[in-house]
């Protein structure tokens, strides 16, 4: 068994402050003997309009990536950086990229968010249009790690079960869902979607969410959690604000569950 951590944050508009919080949470995770830490979506900056400018800075300085790599190496900790803005090919938009760093600080995986959050929500922010500044990715990614095969996703992907079925088909044993779920949509659907994805794929689900008030119009649901392959919530941060939750990954138990109920062998797709 191995201990993993998911981080909850309330990221704001000041990069240095957000990275200082990441450093604090990484130290907490390492002190608790975690071997892997998942950060939420937009952990470095939640201000969507500034992401393109930040991505251009990253090309020259790589400040975010250097910070995460340094923390991973310092704490002997795998860190999954929920989403980092990386310039698209056109240079006018960014990819929302989930980056995976191993314990040596080496980037060993990258996933560009596929499903973009272009929706209207009954909250004070009202309208969300990620496609205005984010370019969608088109590749599924599963990363090998000492803790199991990790399938990558980001936030709105969670509403598309076929995304996770395909990750399971690629060998995923652990699914990560770094997010910035709104308060309204999170209250309605966050936990049930996470548990459903775990049950359907027989994978562990690590879900790191933003959790708190970011501005006068924007609040995130929080409730960062870890779900097991039976759909049981192993760890949950019930209150808003920054912090981590911890749980153990038990791969022998996961494989025992899969052997007892071999749903992948039973799937019938003809006619659907």
User: Catalytic residue positions?
Assistant: 41, 113, 155
H or E stretch at 225:
strand 225-227
H or E stretch at 163:
helix 161-169
**Contacts of 3 by beta carbon, 8 Å cutoff, 6+ apart:** 32, 33, 34, 35, 246, 247, 248, 249
- Whose CA is closest to 112, among 80, 93, 143, 135? 135
H or E stretch at 75:
helix 63-75
User: Do the Cβ atoms of 37 and 29 come closer than 8 Å?
Assistant: yes
The partner residues of 77 in beta bridges, in order of sequence, read none
């Amino acid at each position: 068994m191995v201990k993993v951590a998911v981080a909850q944050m309330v990221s704001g508009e000041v990069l240095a402050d957000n990275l200082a919080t990441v450093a604090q949470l990484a130290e907490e995770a390492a002190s608790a003997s975690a071997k892997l830490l998942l950060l939420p979506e937009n952990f470095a900056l939640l201000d969507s309009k500034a992401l393109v400018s930040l991505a251009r800075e990253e090309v020259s300085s790589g400040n975010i990536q250097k910070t995460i790599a340094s923390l991973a190496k310092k704490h002997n900790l795998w860190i999954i950086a929920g989403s980092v803005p990386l310039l698209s090919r056109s240079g006018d938009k960014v990819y929302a990229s989930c980056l995976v760093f191993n314990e040596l600080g080496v980037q060993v995986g990258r996933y560009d968010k596929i499903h973009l959050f272009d929706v209207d929500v009954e909250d004070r922010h009202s309208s969300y249009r990620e496609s205005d500044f984010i370019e969608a990715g088109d590749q599924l990614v599963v990363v090998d790690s000492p803790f199991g095969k990790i399938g990558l996703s980001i936030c709105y992907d969670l509403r598309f079960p076929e995304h996770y079925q395909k990750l399971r088909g690629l060998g995923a044993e652990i699914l990560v869902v770094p997010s910035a779920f709104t308060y309204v949509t999170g209250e309605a659907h966050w936990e049930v979607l996470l548990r459903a994805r775990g049950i359907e794929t027989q994978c562990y689900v690590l879900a790191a969410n933003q959790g708190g008030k970011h501005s006068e119009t924007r609040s995130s649901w929080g409730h960062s959690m870890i779900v097991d392959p039976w759909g049981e919530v192993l760890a949950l941060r019930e209150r808003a604000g920054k912090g981590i939750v911890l749980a153990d990954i038990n791969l022998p138990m996961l494989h025992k569950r899969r052997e007892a109920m071999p749903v992948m062998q039973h799937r019938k797709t003809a006619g659907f």
